[in-house]
Structure 1
Amino acid sequence: MRRVTVAALAVALATGVVPTGATAAQGVPGSAVREVMFVGNNWEGSATVVDARTYRPLRTIDTIPDRGARMTEILTQPDKLAFYLAIRAGVGEGNAQYTDDMFTTHDGRLLAVSRPSFADVVGIDLATGAIRWRFPMEGYRADHMGVSPDGERLLVSDSTANKVHELDIRTGAELREFASGDTPHENNYTADGERIFHASIGTVYTPTDQPAFDTTKGQRVFQIVRNSDMGIESRWDMGKELAEAGHPNMSSAVRPMAVAPDERYVYLQVSFFHGFVEFDTQALDADPSATYDGEPSVGAVRRVVPLPDRTNGLPREQYVLDSAHHGLAMNGAGTTLCAAGTMSDYAAIVDRTTLRHEIVDVGAKPYWSTNGPTGEQCWVSVSGEDEVVVIDYATAEPVATVPVGNHPQRVREGVVARDVLRSWGR
Structure 2
Amino acid sequence: MFKDKEEKLLNQITNLITRMNLEVLVKNLVTCGILVLSMLSIPLSAQTYISDFVNGPITDRPVRILQTNSAGDDVYVFDPSTMEQVGYIPNLPHNHGATVHADGTHYYFTNEQDHTVDVVDTRTFEVVKRIPLANGPHNLSASMTARKVYVAIIAEPLIQVIDMDTNEIIASIETGGGVHNTFVTPDGRYAVGGMIGVSEIIAIDTETDEVEFEMSIPYSQNPFTGGVRPFTFTVNEDGSTRSLLVNVGGWHGFWEFDWETQELMNKISPPDDSWNRMDQTADGIQSAPSHGVVVLPDQSQVWHSSRATSHIYGYSFPDYEYLGRVYIGNPAWITTTPDSKYLWVGVSGHNETAVVDVEKQEVIKRFPVGQAPKRIFTAIMPADWEGEAP
The corresponding residue for 1:51 is 79
| Distance across 1 between alignment mates of 2:304 and 2:44 | 25
Matched, 1:303 2:281: no
For residues 257-289 of structure 1, the C-alpha deviation after alignment (integer angstroms, 9 at most, x for no partner) is 12001222211111121111121233xxxxxxx
Q: Higher mean Cα deviation, 122-131 or 166-175?
A: 122-131
Matched, 1:148 2:143: yes
Q: Conserved in 1, the CA contact under 8 Å of 2:152 and 2:193? A: no
For residue 218 of structure 2, give the secondary structure of its aligned residue in structure 1: helix
**Residue identity (%):** 18
Cα drift, residue 63 of structure 1: 3.7
Q: Give matches, 1:219-258, under 5 Å.
A: 219-239=198-218, 250-258=224-232
Q: 1:113 aligns with which of 109, 128, 144?
A: 109
Q: 2:326 aligns with which of 360, 382, 391?
A: 360
Matched, 1:189 2:154: no
Q: Give matches, 1:186-335, under 5 Å.
A: 186-202=181-197, 219-239=198-218, 250-262=224-236, 263-282=241-260, 298-307=261-270, 308-310=274-276, 319-335=284-300
For residue 26 of structure 1, give the secondary structure of its aligned residue in structure 2: coil
The corresponding residue for 2:118 is 122
For residue 134 of structure 1, give the secondary structure of its aligned residue in structure 2: strand
| Distance across 1 between alignment mates of 2:160 and 2:119 | 15
Cα drift, residue 418 of structure 1: 5.4
For residue 321 of structure 1, give the secondary structure of its aligned residue in structure 2: coil
Closer, same or farther in 2 for the Cα pair 1:60/1:193, shift >3 Å? same
Q: 2:310 aligns with which of 345, 370, 388?
A: 345
Q: Conserved in 1, the CA contact under 8 Å of 2:247 and 2:291? A: yes
Q: 1:180 aligns with which of 170, 175, 182?
A: 175
For residues 22-44 of structure 1, the C-alpha deviation after alignment (integer angstroms, 9 at most, x for no partner) is 899635899x9732111112222
Matched, 1:389 2:354: yes
| Distance across 2 between alignment mates of 1:299 and 1:125 | 39
Letter in 1 for 2:262: G
Q: Conserved in 2, the CA contact under 8 Å of 1:123 and 1:169? A: no
The corresponding residue for 1:379 is 344
| Distance across 2 between alignment mates of 1:175 and 1:374 | 35
For residues 346-369 of structure 1, the C-alpha deviation after alignment (integer angstroms, 9 at most, x for no partner) is 111122314313110011x21101
| Distance across 2 between alignment mates of 1:384 and 1:189 | 28
For residue 118 of structure 1, give the secondary structure of its aligned residue in structure 2: coil
| Distance across 2 between alignment mates of 1:130 and 1:170 | 18
Closer, same or farther in 2 for the Cα pair 1:354/1:160, shift >3 Å? closer
Cα drift, residue 152 of structure 1: 2.3
For residues 370-404 of structure 1, the C-alpha deviation after alignment (integer angstroms, 9 at most, x for no partner) is 12222332211111112122223334233332222
Q: Conserved in 1, the CA contact under 8 Å of 2:355 and 2:366? A: yes
Q: Conserved in 2, the CA contact under 8 Å of 1:105 and 1:151? A: no
Closer, same or farther in 2 for the Cα pair 1:393/1:33, shift >3 Å? closer
Closer, same or farther in 2 for the Cα pair 1:311/1:420, shift >3 Å? closer
| Distance across 2 between alignment mates of 1:234 and 1:21 | 24
| Distance across 2 between alignment mates of 1:257 and 1:278 | 10
For residues 298-356 of structure 1, the C-alpha deviation after alignment (integer angstroms, 9 at most, x for no partner) is 322122122354469x9xxx844322111000111222111111232111112231431
| Distance across 2 between alignment mates of 1:278 and 1:101 | 23
Q: Conserved in 1, the CA contact under 8 Å of 2:302 and 2:314? A: yes
Closer, same or farther in 2 for the Cα pair 1:345/1:128, shift >3 Å? same
Cα drift, residue 184 of structure 1: 0.3
Q: Higher mean Cα deviation, 335-344 or 190-199?
A: 190-199
Cα drift, residue 21 of structure 1: 8.1
| Distance across 2 between alignment mates of 1:372 and 1:387 | 18
Cα drift, residue 154 of structure 1: 0.6
Closer, same or farther in 2 for the Cα pair 1:160/1:345, shift >3 Å? same
Q: Conserved in 2, the CA contact under 8 Å of 1:349 and 1:393? A: no
- Calculate the TM-score normalised by the size of structure 1: 0.70
* Total equivalences in the alignment: 332
Matched, 1:34 2:62: yes
Closer, same or farther in 2 for the Cα pair 1:181/1:319, shift >3 Å? farther
| Distance across 1 between alignment mates of 2:55 and 2:184 | 20
| Distance across 1 between alignment mates of 2:306 and 2:331 | 6
Cα drift, residue 415 of structure 1: 5.0
The corresponding residue for 1:99 is 95
| Distance across 2 between alignment mates of 1:340 and 1:54 | 25
